[in-house]
Amino acid sequence: MSERARFEARMRDNEQRLRLVTQNVDAVLWTADREARFTSISGGALDQLGLRAEQLIDQSSGALIAEHVLQDVARGITVRAETARGERWLRHHVEPLRDGEGEVVGAVGVSLDITELKRTQQELFESAHRDRLTGLPNRLSLDQRIDETIADARRDDRRFAVLFVDLDRFKTINDTLGHRTGDQVLREVAVRLQETLRSGDVIARPGGDEFIILLPRVVHAGEAESVALRLVRALALPVPAGDQDLFVNASVGAAIFPDHGRDAEAIVAHADAAMYRAKALGGNRFALYDHFMEAAAGERLVLENDLRHAIFRDELELLYQPVVDLGTRRIVGCEALVRWNHRVRGVVAPGVFIPIAEESGAIVAVDRWVLREACVTAARVRAYQPDFRVAVNFSPRDLREPDLPDVVAAMLAEHGLPGEALSVEVTEHVLLDDTVLPALRRICALGVQVAIDDFGVGYSSLAYLKRLPITALKIDRAFIRDVADDAYDQAIVGSIVSVAKTLGLHVTAEGIETPEQLAFVASLGCDEVQGFHFGAPMTARALEEALAPRAERRLVERGA
C-alpha cells in the first residue's frame, strides 16, 4: 500500500470513528455561522430533544441555545452556560470560530443533555430540605425562609408570625398503636394544616409531632390568633386510622416579628415557649408569646400576685366594643373587654393574663369587677338609649362559683337594670361540663342573654345545643376572616346561621373588618355584628361619644 493510500485509509478510519462518536454521544455537536445559523449539527442527544439535524441546518440556532450565548461568542468570548429547553436541561460549551486573520466567523459548540444530572441534584436538594414522611419543608429550609422573611419585613417595615404546633396526645398514639399509625396521623395532620393555610404561608415539619408555620404577612397578633384557632379546630376533628377514629388535638403557640424576637432563632424559640403555655393550660388551645413567658416560675408568682392587687391598685380598665344591629345598623350594645395597665409592664392583653388569672383563681374577682363596671356603664347609657345591652365574658371558673347567679341578680338590681340589659358570653368548652348548666339556667331565667362565644365546628352538635340554656351564638372570628372569598368558611358560617335560626337563637358575627365580610354575613341574615369595621374596643367615654349624636338626633326628632 502506498504512503498516500495508507494516509487516506487512516483518515477514513478517523472520520468513521468521529461520526460514530458524534452520532452516539449524549450531546449535540454543532457549528454556526456569523448569523447564528447552524452550519453542521449532529449527536445522540438530538433524538431525546426531539430535534432532527436536517431540519436545523441553515436555521437559527435559537432552537437549541439561548440568543445571548451566541451574542457573547460573536464578541470573541468562550461561553459555558446552562439553558432549559422544555423539560430538558442543556449545558453548552461554545467557542468562537475564527478565520486566518483571527476574525470571528461563527461558533463551534458542544451541548450536553444534563437533564438526569439536574434531576439528581434536585432530588438531593429536596432530601436535604424536605421531610420524608410528609413532604413538607424541614427545619433547614424553614430557617432559610424565615431569614428571607426577616429581610423583607425589615425592608418594608412589616410584621410576620411564626406558629409552633405540637400534637397533644401523639406519644400515646405512637406507643399504643404503633409507628405506622403514628405516621398516618402525621401525614393527615400535615394535609389538614396545609388545607387550613393560605398560599404563601409556609408549613414545615422539623421532626416528631411538631410543625412550624410561617405567616409571612400579618398586620397584628389577632390575625395569627385566628389562623391558630382555625388550626386547632381543624385538628380537633377525628383522624380516621384503620377502623377507628383518633382524637389528636394540638397546642399552638405564636410569636410575632419584630415584637417578640428579631432573629429566626428567637422567634421560633418564643413560639415554642408560647406553645408550652398552651399545653400547660390543658392543650387543644392557642397562646400568644408574651415577654412574661421568659420569666422564671418565681416571676410568674409575682405576676399572679400583682394581678390579685390589680383591682385595688385600680390597674384594670374596661373597654367596650360596639355591637351593631344588622337590621337598623344602630349600635345596640357593646362587649366589655378587660385590660390590665400594669404599673411597670404597661398594657397587658387579656389573652396573656386571663389564663394566669384562671389558673390562680384571680379571674373570679376580675370578672366580678368587670360585671360591676359594665352594669354602671349600661345603666348610664340606658338613660338615653333604653334598649342598650352590655355583654361580659365569663370563664369556666366563674361558673363554678355557686353564688354567681345571685351575684348577677344582685348586680342588676343594684343598678336598676332588667335582665335583658346584660349578656353573658361563655365558650363552647365550658358547656361540656354539665355541672355549670344549672348556674347558666338560673342566669337565663333572669332574662339575661346567654351566648356561646367563639362558636364554630368545635364541639356542639345540633341536638346538644337544643338542650343547653343558651339564647345566642357568636360566630368565631376565625371563620369570618376569609369568609368573603373562602367557600369553606362561607359554608360553615352559612350552616351556623341556619342552625341558629332553626333553634331560635340570636346570631352575632364577630371580627367584621371589611365591607365584604359585612355584606356576606348580612346576606345570611345574621342579627348582629361586631368588629374593627365598626370600632375597636374603646373607653366608656369614647363609646358614649359614638352613641351621643344619635341620642341628640333623637332628641331633635322628638322636638326637644
Binding site for Mg ion (CB under 5 A): 393, 425, 453-454
Q: Which listed range, 186-194, 257-265, 272-280, 345-353, lies at the site for ligand C2E (CB under 6 A)? A: 345-353
Question: Which CB sits closer to Mg ion, 454 or 527?
Answer: 454
Half-sphere exposure of 405 (CA within 13 A, CB side): 15
Q: Say whether residue 449 binds ligand C2E (CB under 6 A).
A: no
User: 35: buried, middle or exposed (CB in 10 Å: 19+, 13-18, 0-12)?
Assistant: exposed
Q: CB of 301: closest distance to Mg ion in angstroms?
A: 28
Q: Say whether residue 222 binds ligand C2E (CB under 6 A).
A: yes
Nearest 5°: phi and psi at 339?
A: -130, 150
Q: CB of 350: closest distance to Mg ion in angstroms?
A: 10
Question: Which CB sits closer to ligand C2E, 166 or 454?
Answer: 454
Q: Say whether residue 111 binds ligand C2E (CB under 6 A).
A: no
Question: Which CB sits closer to ligand C2E, 349 or 542?
Answer: 349
Question: Which CB sits closer to ligand C2E, 248 or 426?
Answer: 426
Q: CB of 537: closest distance to ligand C2E in angstroms?
A: 5
Q: Say whether residue 517 binds ligand C2E (CB under 6 A).
A: no
What is the β-pairing status of strands 389-393 and 331-342?
parallel
H-run or E-run covering 261? none
Q: CB of 474: closest distance to Mg ion in angstroms?
A: 5
Q: How far is CA 252 from CA 188, 211, 325, 349, in A?
A: 17, 9, 34, 18
Q: CB of 350: closest distance to ligand C2E in angstroms?
A: 4
What is the β-pairing status of strands 346-348 and 331-342?
antiparallel
- Per CB under 6 A, contacts with ligand C2E among 20-39 are none
Q: Distance (Å, rounded) from C-alpha 270 to C-alpha 257?
A: 10
Q: Which listed range, 15-23, 155-163, 184-192, 390-398, lies at the site for ligand C2E (CB under 6 A)? A: 390-398
What is the β-pairing status of strands 159-167 and 250-257?
antiparallel
Q: Distance (Å, rounded) from C-alpha 153 to C-alpha 161?
A: 11
Q: CB of 393: closest distance to Mg ion in angstroms?
A: 5
Question: Which CB sits closer to Mg ion, 455 or 520?
Answer: 455
C-alpha cell at 259: 415584637
Nearest to 424 by CA among 506, 503, 496: 506
Does a cis peptide bond (omega within 30 degrees of 0) precede residue 350? no
Binding test (CB under 6 A) with ligand C2E, winner from 174, 321, 377, 508: 321
Residues forming the site for ligand C2E (CB under 6 A): 222, 321, 337-338, 349-351, 354, 363, 367, 370, 393-395, 425, 453-454, 477, 510-513, 531-532, 537
